[in-house]
Amino acid sequence: MFKNIYKNILFPYNHFEKLNDYFLLLEPKFIDIKKTFNKDSNLCVEIGFGKGDFLIDFAKNNQDKAILAIERSQSLVKEVSKKLILNNIDNVLLVEGLADFIFHFYIPFSSVEKLIINFPDPYPKKAHIDKRLINKRFLKLIYNKLTKDSLIYIATDSENYRDYIINELQSLNIYKIEKFLLGFYDDNYQTKYLRKWLKLNRKIYSFIISKKS
């Protein structure tokens, strides 16, 4: 469906440049999944896809799914866009931007059946902990965007971030940790950072999380 280079990218900030009434920024621009992907499907979302190794294999293995992939680095978005075209992948929409912004303004309610976050930046210094993607605020923000039976997959090499995620989940008390694993949650996939940490013999921790009913 997305034929030309960069046609499979949504650059959200472009929408807002044209607006002079700042209140309009508060209006969501929810993606019409059926129209965008030509599929009657919920969304699978990957945040921070980096070089796109996971995304490309995931898209190939899930051709019936509508996949929305968010990355804040414009150069990575462009690089992966080219890879999607080379691999003839037409079920992925890349979105350049920050995940919380994209979730709030672009992702419809009850539409995400799978959320994948592989090796989110750990921000190990105490002073930078507020910059972490996964925290109570973010987990609250995405809650109503997830379907009832959705699953969240998270992998990290950081023990500190692992414990932080567990604490945030427990104090929020609206999610359930279905599985906590030592190692990456799916042996069929690779990511740049997974390879990097395995090479350095670092331990990997994975979470599979559901919504509490």
Ligand X SMILES: C[S@@+](CC[C@H](N)C(=O)[O-])C[C@H]1O[C@@H](n2cnc3c(N)ncnc32)[C@H](O)[C@@H]1O
What is the C-alpha to C-alpha distance for residues 39 and 34, in angstroms, rounded to an integer?
Answer: 5
Catalytic residue positions?
121
Q: Which stretch binds ligand X (CB under 6 A): 22-30, 60-68, 118-126, 168-176?
A: 118-126
Please tell me whether residue 47 binds ligand X under the rule CB under 6 A: yes
DSSP labels, the chain: ---STTTTEE-HHHHHHT---GGGGGS-----HHHHHSS---EEEEE--TT-HHHHHHHHHTTTSEEEEEES-HHHHHHHHHHHHHTT--SEEEEES-HHHHHHHHSPTT-EEEEEEES-----SGGGGGG-SSSHHHHHHHHTTEEEEEEEEEEES-HHHHHHHHHHHHHH-SEEEEEEEES-S-TT---HHHHHHHHTT---EEEEEEE--
Please tell me whether residue 50 binds ligand X under the rule CB under 6 A: yes
Cα→Cα distances 160→130, 131, 165, 171, Å: 14, 14, 9, 17
Q: Which stretch binds ligand X (CB under 6 A): 28-36, 64-72, 164-172, 178-186?
A: 64-72
85-104 positions binding ligand X, by CB under 6 A = 98-99
In the list 11, 192, 198, 211, the residue contacting ligand X (rule: CB under 6 A) is 192
What is the C-alpha to C-alpha distance for residues 57 and 79, in angstroms, rounded to an integer?
Answer: 16
In the list 31, 56, 67, 70, the residue contacting ligand X (rule: CB under 6 A) is 70
Q: Based on CB atoms, which residue is closest to ligand X, 133 or 169?
A: 133
Q: Based on CB atoms, which residue is closest to ligand X, 103 or 175?
A: 103
Please tell me whether residue 79 binds ligand X under the rule CB under 6 A: no
Chain position whose Cβ is nearest to ligand X? 48
Please tell me whether residue 206 binds ligand X under the rule CB under 6 A: no
Contact letters for ligand X, residues 150-189 (x by CB under 6 A): ----------------------------------------
Q: Based on CB atoms, which residue is closest to ligand X, 40 or 70?
A: 70
Kindly state the smallest distance separating residue 161's Cβ from ligand X, in Å.
Answer: 11
Q: Which positions touch ligand X (CB under 6 A)? A: 47-50, 70-73, 76, 98-99, 118-121, 133, 191-194
